[in-house]
Structure 1
């Protein structure tokens, strides 16, 4: 059976959806490891509740980004990870991770890339006044949200309520990420 690692930094709703899909057999893989860069993030509780091994670290406890990424790579290798899924992991990856797992790391982003890259995409799109929003699953490379696009899904929204828009983004992200990871693992 294939094995995935899911990286997250916050609430972990995309982590939960991917892990549940693995457990239910919708994704033909085991969610074998969760990686988190914030010890107080809620995603840690989710992983613990599901009994999924996790590596949670604080970047400031390491001398450099390369040092903690080497530790992440060691743990990925130890678990025999086939695919890394970034799910709200708020760090840009460096050569350590990309060198070891390049071509096997995907990310979900809450905009129709290449528009609205970075951490505040939903707010930026809303402020810009777009009427068609969406999400993108893409391969991760050394550029910010710039890897080759794998899948996108759009939806219309003409309101101004950020919380409602975020709810619609999640309602679009969750099934798209599961479908895309499933397809990638079956290729």
Structure 2
């Protein structure tokens, strides 16, 4: 019997370029997840238009109409439960989540961050990497924890920092890697190959990448 595909909701606040990469990856018949819903806290977020053109259900939950974060998140939770969502992917969702919401989705909510965590948590990661003179930068997909940009790491990709790099040039190279590793991470989690043990993610059948630029190489 074919395993049932996991139903995934993607939370966005803007154009959702990583959302696009997930939607495109999920078109493959052997991908273990389907993108069932895209939610935005911004009514005119560009990513909503793309989702609609792909036949993906969309919803807007405007944070500004709620008196606090938990009431906003409870409205999101109702939408997720109504759509029988199994997993969440954050893709440029620009709202901090409360411990209550994170706890509802423990080990079932992924985020992508434009840096090699645990380095450069927070914003302006590319500017900070250049200011520090690091030679390697990159992106990380991780399970969401109550602390910002924390949680067990599922996948990472690295890019070299060039001598003449600008924040925009570095960001573009990192974004290209984000589009590679987010679908990979979702595939591993939805397919059951990735599992959390303590603060680590163990991946069945994983082997180190020969060039050490992408982990895992599966």
- With normalisation by structure 1, the TM-score equals 0.94
Structure 1: gaps spanning 5 or more residues: none
**Are 1:27 and 1:181, in contact at CA under 8 Å, matched by a contact in 2?**
no
The structure with the greater share of residues assigned to helix is 1
Greater Cα shift, 57-66 or 136-145: 57-66
**Are 2:22 and 2:182, in contact at CA under 8 Å, matched by a contact in 1?**
yes
Q: Does 1:139 align with 2:156?
A: no
How is 1:90-109 mapped onto 2 (pairs within 5 angstroms)?
A: 90-109=94-113
Residue in structure 1 matched with residue 13 of structure 2 by the alignment: 9
Q: Does 1:68 align with 2:84?
A: no
Residue by residue, what CA displacement relative to the aligned partner does 1:12-58 show, whole Å, maximum 9, x if unpaired? 11000001111233632110111111222211211122121112232
Residue in structure 1 matched with residue 119 of structure 2 by the alignment: 115
SS in 2 for 1:23: coil
Higher normalized contact order (CA 8 Å, seq sep 6+, divided by chain length): 1
CA RMSD of aligned residues (A): 1.4
How is 1:21-170 mapped onto 2 (pairs within 5 angstroms)?
A: 21-25=25-29, 27-158=31-162, 159-170=164-175
Q: Which runs of 4+ in 1 moved over 4 A?
A: none
Measure the CA separation in 2 of the matches of 1:50 and 1:88.
19
Structure 2: gaps spanning 5 or more residues: 193-218
Residue in structure 1 matched with residue 179 of structure 2 by the alignment: 174
- With normalisation by structure 2, the TM-score equals 0.81
Residue in structure 2 matched with residue 184 of structure 1 by the alignment: 189
Measure the CA separation in 2 of the matches of 1:105 and 1:73.
13
Query: Whose radius of gyration is greater, 1 or 2?
Result: 2
